[in-house]
Amino acid sequence: MANSNKVLLNNFNRGGLADSRWSGVADSYYKLTGLDPHTTPGLLKVGQKLTKISSTTVTEFCKERVVSSNGMIYWFSSTTGKIWQQTPSTNAFELIFTTTAAAGGVGCLGAIEYQGYIYWATESRLHRIAATGNDTAAEWTSNAALNWATFTKTDSLFHPMLELNLVLYIGDGNLVAQVDAGVFTANALDIKTPLRVKSLGKIGVDLLVGTWVANTITQTELIRWNTYSVSFTTSDTIPETGINAFIPADNFVLLQAGLAGNLYTYDGSTTELYKTIPGEYTPTKYGYVYPSSSGNLNGQLLFGMSNGTGNPCDLGVYRLARHDRKYPFILDFPYPISERDGTALVTTAIEIGGLAVSGFNVYVAWKRTVDGDPDTYVYGVDKLDYDNKLDGAYFETRIMNVNREELSTMENYVLNYYQIPTSCNITLAYDKNYAGYVNMTAVKDSQRNTISSEEGVEASVLSVKATFTTSANTGPSIESGAVLLK
């Protein structure tokens, strides 16, 4: 991690998350959890927390959401027909409607607002309701147009939706359906089987179709269609199990594919591996981003990583961002969900569903699996809380050593802080020879604005950690730091 005995800890907005505990680009860190390296370049601050706002009202996992022009936000159950209406001004949730369908399952597989209507899809049917004038349960019951249209393939897993060129496109098996000025067409585009449409994106005025076959088939295709020709324009084969989600970026296409946390860019004809979410991926440890688990917050790309099985990485909301064009895009992990295990952050056994951005507000639907006999499940919708910092945010360095074959001594671990407000603190810890973290006795020097520890830790393999204690909406912020080894 360093070429000398002084390991610098700085440039937090230039390296982001490392590829692993052992390797990464300059200024990258093994963990960057709940921190904010972007708002004020040169300072590492504690980020805002996610706070649960749905109480016990939302009782199921919502993979789909609609931020409506009527001022409400709608959350759709992925397993039953339940739809919850959220009033953003009060964060009140109401079970507004329960979908029934003439055929097939009633879990929501896609939803969007298009030309004044809220559309949502179940296995075999497309439903809709006018967005305006329908904000009570009675009005939904009276005015919802259930079974408004019928899908041809009746895909039981995915009906992704995207508006492009004033037309609504909907995936259905190996077909792309469309709604154009209120007219439904079940087969606007067909692609070869066994490919199935899992996600939809766009490049310019062209539609991008992300496909999937099965988690056991390691080949999929990204299809580009100009939306008017009888067939697609180009297709790029990708050696992944499927294209799970498009992440809304500006002036480039970013997508998540496969089960091993891979992010790809697309230049219009070919895809290229961009970055991998750090973790350990095996046949029994994998995860993915759901099609509607992404958003763009003031240029910051947010996406939720969900557990498939085995907890392959930290699970929650990741961010790919930079302060402006002078800086590189970096990946970090700013938003663990609101759940806690005692006081500890929960980053395992989590699925992230619909992610909604409305102005400065970010909303995240999630599901937590609690081990038991049988397992139990907890559901919720979180909101980015601008009144409270995340208590317990932390960073961990990559492995440091002077000479791997010999013992080195850590003489000092010091952080230079900008501020540590009243009732806030920074806890320093070390991990010696992979034995686990041990807290250190730290000394705060208010004349030099440093917090440091000189415990003389002797090790052949060493990493250090800093954990931030906050108080309401105040928290520590640091400029830089160093670890002195000999």
Give the pLDDT mean for 101-108. 98
Give the pLDDT mean for 266-289. 97
The band of 259, judged by pLDDT with boundaries at 50, 70 and 90, is very high
Q: Which neighbouring-strand residues pair with 120?
A: 111, 127
- At 486 the pLDDT is 87
Judgement on whether residues 285 and 428 belong to the same structural domain of the protein: no
Element (H, E) at 286: strand 286-288
| 204-224 per-position pLDDT tens digit | 999 999 999 999 999 999 999
d(CA 330, CA 336): 17
The domain containing residue 258 runs over which residues?
49-388
- Residue 129 phi/psi, 5-degree rounding, is -150, 145
In the numeric block, the tokens 């973790």 are attached to: 279
d(CA 305, CA 315): 5
CA torsion 222-245-170-69 (nearest 10°) is -140
Give this prediction's pTM. 0.96
Give the pLDDT mean for 141-166. 98
Where does a domain end: 329, 354, 388?
388
CB atoms within 10 A of CB 360: 9
- At 5 the pLDDT is 85
Judgement on whether residues 244 and 323 belong to the same structural domain of the protein: yes
Judgement on whether residues 26 and 125 belong to the same structural domain of the protein: no
Q: Which amino acid is at 325?
A: R
> Is the model's pLDDT at 1 over the cut of 70?
no
Task: Evaluate whether 221 touches 234 at the Cβ level (below 8 Å).
Answer: no
Judgement on whether residues 10 and 30 belong to the same structural domain of the protein: yes
Specify if 102 maps to a domain: yes
Overall domain count for the chain: 2
Where does a domain end: 356, 388, 420?
388
Specify if 128 maps to a domain: yes
Specify if 209 maps to a domain: yes
- At 403 the pLDDT is 85
> Is the model's pLDDT at 21 over the cut of 50?
yes
Judgement on whether residues 12 and 57 belong to the same structural domain of the protein: no
Contacting residues for 429 by C-beta, under 8 A, at least 6 apart: 437, 438, 439, 440, 464, 465, 466, 467
Q: Give percent above pLDDT 90 in the chain.
A: 96
Judgement on whether residues 290 and 425 belong to the same structural domain of the protein: no
d(CA 366, CA 448): 43
Give the pLDDT mean for 179-208. 97
Judgement on whether residues 356 and 397 belong to the same structural domain of the protein: no
Task: Evaluate whether 467 touches 32 at the Cβ level (below 8 Å).
Answer: no
Tokens representing 166 are 């004033």
Give the pLDDT mean for 230-258. 95
- At 3 the pLDDT is 42
> Is the model's pLDDT at 104 over the cut of 90?
yes
Task: Evaluate whether 39 touches 356 at the Cβ level (below 8 Å).
Answer: no
Q: Which neighbouring-strand residues pair with 361?
A: 358
In the numeric block, the tokens 């230039």 are attached to: 14
In the numeric block, the tokens 């810890």 are attached to: 429
Judgement on whether residues 202 and 298 belong to the same structural domain of the protein: yes
The band of 401, judged by pLDDT with boundaries at 50, 70 and 90, is confident
- At 128 the pLDDT is 98
Judgement on whether residues 411 and 361 belong to the same structural domain of the protein: no
The band of 375, judged by pLDDT with boundaries at 50, 70 and 90, is very high
Judgement on whether residues 88 and 21 belong to the same structural domain of the protein: no
Spatial CA neighbour of 256 closest among 270, 242, 268? 242
Where does a domain end: 345, 368, 388?
388
Task: Evaluate whether 358 touches 75 at the Cβ level (below 8 Å).
Answer: no
The band of 42, judged by pLDDT with boundaries at 50, 70 and 90, is very high
The band of 2, judged by pLDDT with boundaries at 50, 70 and 90, is very low
Tokens representing 347 are 């980053």
> Is the model's pLDDT at 402 over the cut of 90?
no
Tokens representing 15 are 């390296």
Specify if 208 maps to a domain: yes
Give the pLDDT mean for 258-270. 97
Read off the CATH number of the domain in which 463 is found.
2.60.120.260
Give the pLDDT mean for 109-135. 97
Judgement on whether residues 95 and 226 belong to the same structural domain of the protein: yes
Average pLDDT over the chain, rounded to an integer: 96
Contacting residues for 251 by C-beta, under 8 A, at least 6 apart: none
Read off the CATH number of the domain in which 217 is found.
2.130.10.10
- At 370 the pLDDT is 96
| 331-374 per-position pLDDT tens digit | 999 999 999 999 999 999 999 999 999 999 999 999 999 999 99
Judgement on whether residues 137 and 215 belong to the same structural domain of the protein: yes
Specify if 1 maps to a domain: no
Give the pLDDT mean for 255-273. 97
